[in-house]
Chain A
């Protein structure tokens, strides 16, 4: 018996005295959130390294005799000569449904003061995007709740649609509206008990934004009841550039968990211009060669590898990406905007002039496009809004032409009149997304000429009245449009009758 105990004791002794091998290095220089380290001969690219005091870093530059690391966390305690250790791990973030309703930093740590996140899984921040074979073409719609977008520039699940425009043109508002709309659809869908219903979870990544803006976004989502379906990843302007550089990848990892587990997710990168600036800062400090506008040579890959992670997977879920780019003086041909335009599957261009004229959302129909097109639209929207984009584009051309003379033929006048009505109809307040069935009803009324007798200045009022009429008195009809998702003769007749009823009540 004693021999057995001796054996166990020997084993314990062997285990407890087992040496642990670590690969170490020493800080040579530390400045601007970047450390140059001697040693670390075994370090891998993108590997996490441990600094004294709990700070971690990522090895980004593996040079012949030194390693360049960006430091995530407090650098004030670090000094020359401090020991740095490899961890053998790639940077990972917690993922899963436990993150819904929470605000986390670029490392997935909660920053909302609501306690720790009970997440059992982690995903690597950097991951190779899904290949060709596992992907499926985009064909399921993702409704933004914005009539101008859903009817003319439809977005599908798994698509990458860029939102681009100058500062203060309503880029963030469009994405928040979209998130709120997903939450509304989720609530209706989950309440209906439909087994085929697929909720869309949202991830909002704030990069280099003011903390006050992030707070405002969270408040807007909370007020609309959308926060419970949303994860906020915040790397505000006060965070170091390394965190701002990593935040979109962390958000993508969180979104990938939903996609890999058969769910649909939407991710908003707000915004990638600031992300590119953060990366430029890191690259310049790491002394990487700079190119156009001082951006490093791999700035295209920075965004392409991020946006390629948005996909619709065969037999699994999808990840839809809405990256935002801020332009300067409407210049879409600048370096970063052209890069991201070429990577994405379309763009929604917002114009300052339209915004100032009160046309909100200020979507420029001519410059906006969705390369997925009507494949991501339900049949009902195609039926009522198929020709809208052409009509509106024609209107803009005619309106510009009409400024030079007053003698217009009747046909042109009619086209201008109709165009003005469409523009009025597409005006929508912020944080008030419209359900798709209501959009169909409004567009149907417009196509059938129910707004023609209404004075242009009163179109918004009439549209509000129509929406109110349908939601309060024709809810079963709206439900039928929602479930059928296409207008057959019977449904068209019912919609026509309802519009007639509204017309008589509105005129009265």
Chain B
């Protein structure tokens, strides 16, 4: 079972590598990969596709800045975040707003596995941890 998972993981990585063009995931290539898996007799297709989906979602998350905010957020702010993050990561980063009243005030931005915390809830949590 473990070796099946490893083989599937390795194959998914190869498929993922083929899906990336100029540092970004290409929709056409992904469609091509899905077609290939469907038509050919790929062993453990579910396992392969799940591993492939995980790799693609990690890569896609690097191009999206999820902006959690409490209260209203202007389009200008989102544009400023987009521009700052694109500059920082050296790739196109799209901002997506998500309302989260639990933050109390301020915002929290996620890009890939980086989190930029400037919410009141986050500061209170940090203060609580330091006491």
B110 partner residues in chain A, CB cutoff 8 A: 24
Question: Can you offer 12 A-B residue contacts whose CB atoms are under 8 A?
Answer: A19-B118, A20-B117, A21-B115, A22-B117, A23-B114, A24-B110, A38-B54, A38-B58, A41-B112, A42-B113, A65-B55, A65-B58
B113 partner residues in chain A, CB cutoff 8 A: 23-25, 38-42
Query: When chains A and B are docked, how far (Å) is the Cα of A128 from the Cα of B117?
Result: 35
A21 in contact with B114 (CB, 8 Å): yes
Asked whether B109 is an interface residue with its Cβ less than 8 Å from the other chain, the reply is yes
Query: When chains A and B are docked, how far (Å) is the Cα of A24 from the Cα of B109?
Result: 12
Residue in chain B with minimal CB distance to A50: B129
Asked whether A18 is an interface residue with its Cβ less than 8 Å from the other chain, the reply is yes
Residue in chain B with minimal CB distance to A54: B129
Contacting residues of chain B (80-118) with chain A, CB-CB under 8 angstroms: 106, 109-110, 112-118
Contact with B along A43-65 (1 / 0, CB 8 A): 00000000000100000000011
Asked whether A17 is an interface residue with its Cβ less than 8 Å from the other chain, the reply is yes
Query: When chains A and B are docked, how far (Å) is the Cα of A52 from the Cα of B115?
Result: 16
What is the number of residues of chain A that contact chain B, defined by CB distance less than 8 Å? 18
A24 in contact with B122 (CB, 8 Å): no
Q: How far is the CB of A87 from chain B (nearest CB, A)?
A: 11
A17 in contact with B106 (CB, 8 Å): yes
Asked whether B75 is an interface residue with its Cβ less than 8 Å from the other chain, the reply is no
Given contacts A65-B55, A65-B58, contact A21 B116 (CB under 8 A): yes
Asked whether B76 is an interface residue with its Cβ less than 8 Å from the other chain, the reply is no
Which of B55, B109, B110, B116 has the largest count of A CB atoms less than 10 A from its CB? Answer: B116
Query: When chains A and B are docked, how far (Å) is the Cα of A439 from the Cα of B115?
Result: 66
Q: How far is the CB of A29 from chain B (nearest CB, A)?
A: 12
Query: When chains A and B are docked, how far (Å) is the Cα of A18 from the Cα of B119?
Result: 10
Query: When chains A and B are docked, how far (Å) is the Cα of A356 from the Cα of B6?
Result: 54
A19 partner residues in chain B, CB cutoff 8 A: 109, 116-118
* Candidates B55, B58, B118; contact of A20 at CB < 8 Å: B118
Query: When chains A and B are docked, how far (Å) is the Cα of A64 from the Cα of B13?
Result: 10
Q: How far is the CB of B27 from chain A (nearest CB, A)?
A: 22
Residue in chain A with minimal CB distance to B9: A65
Interface residues on B, range: 10 to 19
Asked whether B126 is an interface residue with its Cβ less than 8 Å from the other chain, the reply is yes
B117 partner residues in chain A, CB cutoff 8 A: 19-22
A41 partner residues in chain B, CB cutoff 8 A: 112-113
B116 partner residues in chain A, CB cutoff 8 A: 19-22
Q: How far is the CB of A19 from chain B (nearest CB, A)?
A: 4
* Candidates B54, B106, B112, B114; contact of A22 at CB < 8 Å: B114
B interface list, Cβ under 8 A from A = 13, 54-55, 58, 106, 109-110, 112-118, 122, 126, 129
**Would you list the 4 A-B pairs with minimal beta carbon distance, nearest first?**
A39-B113, A19-B118, A19-B116, A22-B115
Q: How far is the CB of A203 from chain B (nearest CB, A)?
A: 30
Contacting residues of chain A (6-27) with chain B, CB-CB under 8 angstroms: 17-25
Which of B112, B117, B122, B129 has the largest count of A CB atoms less than 10 A from its CB? Answer: B117
Q: How far is the CB of B25 from chain A (nearest CB, A)?
A: 15
Which of B110, B113, B122 has the largest count of A CB atoms less than 10 A from its CB? Answer: B113
Q: How far is the CB of A17 from chain B (nearest CB, A)?
A: 6
Residue in chain B with minimal CB distance to A86: B113
Query: When chains A and B are docked, how far (Å) is the Cα of A19 from the Cα of B109?
Result: 9
Q: How far is the CB of B123 from chain A (nearest CB, A)?
A: 8
Q: How far is the CB of A379 from chain B (nearest CB, A)?
A: 57
Residue in chain A with minimal CB distance to B117: A20
Query: When chains A and B are docked, how far (Å) is the Cα of A41 from the Cα of B89?
Result: 14
Q: How far is the CB of A289 from chain B (nearest CB, A)?
A: 12
Query: When chains A and B are docked, how far (Å) is the Cα of A41 from the Cα of B110?
Result: 14
Q: How far is the CB of B67 from chain A (nearest CB, A)?
A: 11
Q: How far is the CB of A116 from chain B (nearest CB, A)?
A: 14
* Candidates A17, A18, A24, A54; contact of B115 at CB < 8 Å: A24
Q: How far is the CB of B31 from chain A (nearest CB, A)?
A: 23
Q: Assuming A19-B118, A21-B115, what are 4 further A-B pairs, CB within 8 angstroms?
A: A21-B114, A22-B116, A38-B113, A40-B113
B122 partner residues in chain A, CB cutoff 8 A: 20
Query: When chains A and B are docked, how far (Å) is the Cα of A297 from the Cα of B58?
Result: 32
A85 partner residues in chain B, CB cutoff 8 A: 115
Query: When chains A and B are docked, how far (Å) is the Cα of A41 from the Cα of B58?
Result: 11
B126 partner residues in chain A, CB cutoff 8 A: 20
B106 partner residues in chain A, CB cutoff 8 A: 17
Query: When chains A and B are docked, how far (Å) is the Cα of A39 from the Cα of B33?
Result: 24
Which of A19, A25, A54, A64 has the largest count of B CB atoms less than 10 A from its CB? Answer: A19
